[in-house]
Structure 1
Amino acid sequence: MLNIAICDDEIKQRFLLKSTIEVELKAEDKKYNIFQFPSGEKLLDKLYTDKNSLDIIFLDVEMNELNGIETARKIRKLNENVVIIFITGFSDYVFDGYEVKALNYIVKPYKSEKIATVLKDAIKQIYGLEEKYFVVKAEGSLFKVLINDILYFRSDRRKISLVTRYKSYEFYGKISDIEEQFGKQFIRTHQRYLVNLDYITAVKDNFVIVNDENLPISRQRHKDVMMAFAKQLLK
Structure 2
Amino acid sequence: MIKIAVCDDDDNMILELKNKISGYMNETSYKAEIHSFSCAEDLLKSDIIFDIVFLDIQMGSMTGMEAAKRFRQSGSECFLIFVTVLKEYVYDAFSVEASDYLLKPLNSQRFLSTMNRIIHYVEDKKTSVLTIQKGCWCKSIRFADILYCEAINRKIYVHTKQEIIDYYFRINELEKQLESDFFCCHRSYLVNLHAVCGYENGQAKLVNGENIPVSRLRRQEFMEAMLNYMKKGDR
Q: TM-score, normalised by structure 2?
A: 0.69
Q: Is 2:169 the counterpart of 1:172?
A: yes
For 2:11, the aligned partner's letter is: I
Please report the RMSD computed on the Cα atoms of aligned residues, expressed in angstroms. 4.1
Cα offset for 1:123?
Answer: 0.6
Partner of 1:11 in structure 2? 11
Cα offset for 1:103?
Answer: 1.5
Q: What is the correspondence of 1:38-187 to structure 2 with a 5 Å cutoff?
A: 38-46=38-46, 49=47, 53-77=49-73, 78-80=75-77, 82-136=78-132, 138-139=134-135, 144-148=140-144, 150=146, 153-162=149-158, 168=165, 170-174=167-171, 178=175, 181-182=178-179
Label 1:15 to 1:93 Cα distance change in 2 as closer, same or farther (>3 A). same
Q: CA deviation digits over 1:71-110, x for unaligned, max 9? A: 1122123123x21110111222211111122111111122
How many residues matched?
221
Q: Secondary structure at the match of 1:34?
A: strand
For 1:156, the aligned partner's letter is: I
Structure-2 separation of matches of 1:151 and 1:63: 43
Q: What is the correspondence of 1:209-228 to structure 2 with a 5 Å cutoff?
A: none
Q: CA deviation digits over 1:155-178, x for unaligned, max 9? A: 223432446658945232116953
For 1:170, the aligned partner's letter is: Y
Contact 1:189 1:217 in 2 (8 A): yes
Structure-1 separation of matches of 2:165 and 2:42: 24
Contact 2:155 2:166 in 1 (8 A): no
Cα offset for 1:181?
Answer: 2.7
Label 1:151 to 1:118 Cα distance change in 2 as closer, same or farther (>3 A). same
Structure-2 separation of matches of 1:79 and 1:39: 18
Label 1:197 to 1:79 Cα distance change in 2 as closer, same or farther (>3 A). farther
Structure-1 separation of matches of 2:132 and 2:145: 14
Structure-2 separation of matches of 1:104 and 1:79: 16
Gaps of 5+ in 1: 201-205, 225-230
Gaps of 5+ in 2: 197-202, 224-229, 231-235
Aligned-pair identity (%): 27
Contact 2:8 2:59 in 1 (8 A): yes
Label 1:27 to 1:187 Cα distance change in 2 as closer, same or farther (>3 A). closer
Q: TM-score, normalised by structure 1?
A: 0.69
